[in-house]
Chain A
Amino acid sequence: MKPLAHVGKALAHDSAALHVSGAAVYIDDIAEIEGTLHVAPGFAKEGAKGKILSINLAAAQAAEGVVAVLTAQDIPGKNDCSPVAGDDPIFANGKIEFHGQVIFAVVAKTRDAARRAARLAVIEIEKQKPDVTVADALASNGDLLPPYAFTSKGVVAALKNSTHRHAGQLKIGGQEQFYLEGQVAYAIPQEKGGMFVHSSTQHPTEIQHCVAAMLGIDDAQVICQCRRMGGAFGGKESQAAQWAAIAALAAHITGHPVKCRLDRDDDMMLTGKRHDFEATYEVGLDKSLRIAAVDVLLAARCGYSADLSAAICDRTMFHADNAYFYPQYKIATRRLKTNTISNTAFRGFGGPQGMVFAEAMMESIAIQHGCDALELRKKNLYTKQRNTTPYGQKIDEHLVGKIMATLEKTSSYQKRRKDNAKFNAKSSILKKGLALTPVKFGISFTNTMMNQAGALVHVYGDGSVHLNHGGTEMGQGLYQKVAQVVAEVFGIGVDKITITATRTDKVPNTSPTAASSGSDLNGMAARNAAMAIKARMAEVAGRQHGVHPSKVTFWDGQVSAKTKSSSFAALATACKGARVSLSATGYYSTPAIHWDRATGRGHPFFYFAYGASCSEVLVDTLTGEMKVSRVDILHDVGHSLNPAIDIGQIEGGFVQGMGWVTTEELVFDAEGRLRTHAPSTYKIPCASDVPEDFRVALYESKGNKADTIYRSKAVGEPPLMLPISVWCAVMNAIASLKPGTVPKLDAPATPEAIMRAVKSLGVK
């Protein structure tokens, strides 16, 4: 087989040169059309739950520069921006269910005027006591969605009969996406009541649909475009819709183009985040410390509406095993309603919470039994014999054990454990901790329907190529990866391919760019489109040179048949002359997957992505301060489409996940108000939090066992769970204070959480 020319190359991000020179255009950078207005959302200053008693917008209406004030009554169609359940009003009508819920919006000549005026509204709420925490919701029995569980028949007996039993609890914090570019949309009215919307969204099709339904017009009358997002991480999957809808409504009513860009504080208060959970579990082990049974309840704070919580909590269940075989199990979830912003997608989509539970359980068992946590982990991995997941899918690719064994060596795990024990014996305040944890992450949307994608490819008469597909670019390098695929098919340079903005009028009915599926789905769809054109071109070349089309090769900008060859451009010209279409759509749907939620059985994932990381931390047991001192990662991406982009995803995902388990803490007060709604109070990692000693390697893969695009593997979400090793290392460090006792450590392990854990040991 010929080596690949473009796929597998460490090419820079398609917009790298634009990024660094400030020339990459984000939605707020688009030169405004004359007459453009700005819209800002408004909400009640006080109150998280209750009837809206009165809305007085007179002062806002009268403020300088104000053109219009909009409420639910102004919506011609459907007052909803929810992705699934129809329960997210664009403007609250009659009642509010969380603090900050949008009730109205102000349209003004400048953004500043709109924001100022929005503060002038006087809104009275008949305030009721909100349910804010998981505990509040459990006390009110507030299930937003029905509980759901995977339960094996023998779980109760197996627990009872196990040699060792261990019970535990874990609070798992939520997380703000903190994309650097806040939510933004720019709506431009079109002829005959249509609407064109620039939206910073992972899901243009949903924006299109939401805007059309809101205006009461056909989907076909709305176009949504997204060239790039300044980060998204799941936070622009369903959460972009409300702002696009408000901009479109304002544009519809005023007849002017209207932009809606949220201020950072509003963005953090008014858009959903990663679900926080409380896990309560019991685990039974045999005498060799192999797990016999696990019984866990994962209770999720979903917020006020369903949003994507059903699928998210399902994914938590799908990952509550991480990489371990549970012979008997009850994996139960509660999906709780709280009077807080509706929690939503965030890289990992519920998976991380399931996995951090599994690893916390492992770390706790190891501490309680005084054994090495890595030995315990290895002992409980899936194997060829012990290979069935709690949802019935069989694991057929056993890489994670090999990855862990390699990493154990390359990170000098054993030696460092010994060195740390010596250090900890001598050092009274500072303690070191080390942990090596695996990642196994299921790839596919668990809603099987969503595993489809489309693409549109044109070859022009000069041999240049226009590429479009349903995937969106949020920084993950999808556009470049897909361009490399198309370049490979045509045997031309990536520089000959013009990558164009994702638009609903080019590729319709798309799925969100989510679930790590972007390159798997869109890469295949674009390949299919390119292959269709290539077949037609090969036929023309074959006719020209008197060979069978299968003998025509496309390589290095040349198209060759026998001894003859011409440039790709010349063939394109010839095709046009021969009246052969050089445009094609491509389509792909993932094979082999199925899922029956009613029985809890199926094969929801096309394959799994694997990795492992080893982290070392230094903990101050007097103050709770903590520093990550070294990290080693080995991660499997199959045959990489672009190793530079993949390593970027791994490093970036790791640091983002490290923030989730360390410094990032969402604080709501008893009134349900988010107190951490700006980077001054909500602390994502910064440069100095990244260890200087940070070693990242790609696993030397023989290629994905599943038939994916060039046998690559998805890489978007899986690395986020690698830093669970950081949290476990903190446990390991604290436990050195009193061997045999499990510290009560929550996630995130903030200095305060670490101090609570130290105190829980009762040592002075």
Chain B
Amino acid sequence: MMALEFLRRGKIVRMESFAPDTMLLDYLRLTEKSRGTKEGCNEGDCGACTVVLGEVQNGAMNYQAVNACILLLGQIHGKEIITVEDLAEGEKLHPVQQAMVDLHASQCGFCTPGFVMSLFALGHGKKSVTRADVTTAIAGNLCRCTGYKPIIDAGVKACQNLRDRFAGDAEQSIALLNGISSETMLVGDEQNFFVAPSSAESLAERAAQHPQARVVSGATDVGLWITKQFKAQKQIIFTGRARGFAEIAWHEAALHIGAGATYTAAQDGLTKLAPDIGAVMHRLGCVQVRNSGTIGGNIANGSPIGDMPPMLIALGSILVLRNGETERKMPLESFFIDYGKQDRKSGELVWRIEVPLLKQNQVFKAYKITKRFDQDISAVLGAFLFTMDKDRIADVRIAYGGMAATPKRATKTETILRGKTLQEAMSITLNDYAPIADMRASAEYRREIAAALLKKAVMELQGAQNTRVLA
């Protein structure tokens, strides 16, 4: 089909042309002139632009909060877009809005629409919410005035058994959304296009045909190239509509995660595989970012400070790439060649990641060190997979983020640790990295902290209690 279609305020909006790198926030504020949604930072770090996307899942509406500032307009194809202006019914405020008023949860009010939308999505996603659910839901929303307490209280109050008109309207929304074709959507011409292939196979085909085009999944990174670096993106292949590209499947010895799976989608499975992955993912970005960003994207962009690669490397994950119809497999660490350089051929896609399941005698530990716990990029991320033979380390895989130009294994230390008892391991020093200093940490602190994390992991294996500030 040759048009972008989405549901807006009860009607299908159809657009037969738009600049491929139009951001959703600009569409809302500049084209639609809906100005309730605010721009705070234009990089997905403050949440003032939070809107909710509705989508049909298993026959019901599912609502997710996203940052409109770094979401491409084309990404909302086939979805409903809900903004802060849509919640009240005439003079009657939505329960989330009313609780915010009653509990004095707005001061300057500029961040408020974003909080309202994050809480709206939370209320629709969960029947009964705890304080922790609320702080998780709003971890990506910054407020500089209130100190958050009244917002948290409003969230806890309003999101219990939330009832609003959206439940009543769901049937109609589902019908309208189901009316949007699931075929490949293509808007534009040879030079400028936004294409959303309908299946993984057609996605691979398109990527091979247009190796120069930008493949975009969540746009949580590419979005900033557009808003901050003015790198025009004229040809975009969007993975988000490709059936089969985001599948998560348990196999006998591994969890297979399709590259297009969002963090949100993959979080449950990975947490089950090893709780420490879940604990790190809980602090990776925020709900809005995890709803958009993908596991494959975090690998494909090759960042030295992505949180998933070191953990997946330590676990011994296998990366599957695909070029047209040809698949290629490699250990994940081999993919990262150097800063900004990955082993990905022209037209090739990051396709799937296969994460081995832990064996009985294996323990996985991961630690993320940041200035702020939530939504902060790691200064250092340490990930450790120990294979134990009673008190002895039979084997170990260690990978760090933030310590080198790529996510990197500590192979020297691994060799030294193999065969050592835990007691002996306590005195092993980490000597694999020469980290750099930047705004997140000095080189010295990075070195020390990396060593401290290894020490902490060993202490925890020895049964030490009270080892983490975030219990």
Contacts and interface: CB of A to CB of B under 8 A. Distances in A.
B148 A18 contact: no
A751 B369 contact: yes
A689 B466 CA distance: 20
A688 B35 contact: no
Interface in B123-148: 131, 134-136, 138-148
B20 interface: no
Interface stretch (B85-93, B174-182, B200-208): B85-93
Contacts of B372: 663, 683, 685-686, 689
Contact of A752 (B100, B107, B442): B442
A271 to B, nearest CB: 15
30 contacts: A10-B104, A12-B102, A13-B104, A17-B93, A20-B97, A23-B85, A180-B38, A180-B108, A228-B108, A230-B109, A230-B110, A231-B145, A232-B108, A264-B41, A427-B466, A429-B459, A429-B464, A430-B469, A474-B108, A619-B469, A623-B453, A624-B449, A648-B104, A648-B107, A656-B144, A675-B439, A679-B46, A681-B377, A687-B141, A689-B373
Q: Which among B45, B147, B456 has the greatest number of chain A C-beta atoms within 10 A?
A: B147
A23 B84 CA distance: 9
Nearest to B380: A623
B461 interface: no
A587 interface: no
Contacts of A678: 41, 43, 45
Interface in A505-557: none
Given A180-B110, A430-B466, A119 B230 contact: yes
Interface in A641-670: 644-645, 647-648, 651-656, 663, 665, 667
B371 A665 contact: yes
B247 to A, nearest CB: 31
A646 to B, nearest CB: 10
B148 A687 contact: yes
Interface in B350-384: 367, 369-377, 379
B440 A115 contact: no
Given A263-B42, A651-B149, A687 B138 contact: yes
A655 B42 CA distance: 24
Interface in B439-471: 439-442, 445, 448-449, 452-453, 455-456, 459, 464, 466-470
A97 B310 CA distance: 42
Contacts of B139: 686-688
A576 interface: no
A265 B46 CA distance: 13
Given A16-B101, A180-B142, A686-B374, A264 B109 contact: no
Contacts of B106: 13, 15-16, 19-20, 475
B83 interface: yes
B233 to A, nearest CB: 14
A34 interface: no
Interface of A: 10, 12-13, 15-26, 28-29, 31, 112, 115-116, 119, 177-182, 228-233, 263-265, 427-430, 474-477, 618-620, 622-627, 644-645, 647-648, 651-656, 663, 665, 667, 675-676, 678-681, 683-690, 692, 694, 696, 750-752, 755
Contacts of B371: 663, 665, 683, 750-751
A389 to B, nearest CB: 30
B40 A656 contact: no
Contacts of B150: 648, 651
B93 A20 contact: yes
A178 B39 CA distance: 13
A688 B374 contact: yes
Q: Which among A180, A265, A476, A656 has the greatest number of chain B C-beta atoms within 10 A?
A: A180
A484 B434 CA distance: 62
B135 A687 contact: yes
A685 to B, nearest CB: 7
B111 interface: yes
A652 B107 contact: yes
Interface string B391-435: 000000000000000000000000000000000000000000000
A651 B146 contact: yes
8 closest A-B pairs (Cβ-Cβ)? A22-B36, A475-B108, A230-B110, A19-B109, A655-B147, A22-B84, A475-B107, A679-B45
A475 B145 contact: yes
A748 to B, nearest CB: 9
B148 A655 contact: yes
Q: Which among B42, B46, B110 has the greatest number of chain A C-beta atoms within 10 A?
A: B110
A586 B38 CA distance: 36
Nearest to B228: A265
Given A622-B456, A623-B369, A683-B372, 14 more contacts: A22-B85, A180-B46, A181-B38, A182-B40, A475-B109, A627-B373, A655-B146, A663-B371, A676-B439, A679-B40, A686-B372, A688-B135, A751-B369, A751-B379
B195 interface: no
Contacts of A20: 84, 93, 96-98, 100-101, 106, 109, 112-113, 116
Contacts of A627: 373, 469-470
B33 interface: yes
Contacts of A696: 149
Contacts of A179: 108, 110, 144
Nearest to A264: B41
Contacts of B375: 686
A336 to B, nearest CB: 23
Q: Which among B104, B111, B136, B139 has the greatest number of chain A C-beta atoms within 10 A?
A: B104
A673 to B, nearest CB: 10
B144 A231 contact: yes
A266 to B, nearest CB: 10
B349 to A, nearest CB: 27
A624 B111 CA distance: 31
A654 B150 CA distance: 14
B41 A679 contact: yes
B111 to A, nearest CB: 5
Contacts of A625: 369, 373, 469-470
Contacts of A684: 142, 144
A18 B45 contact: no
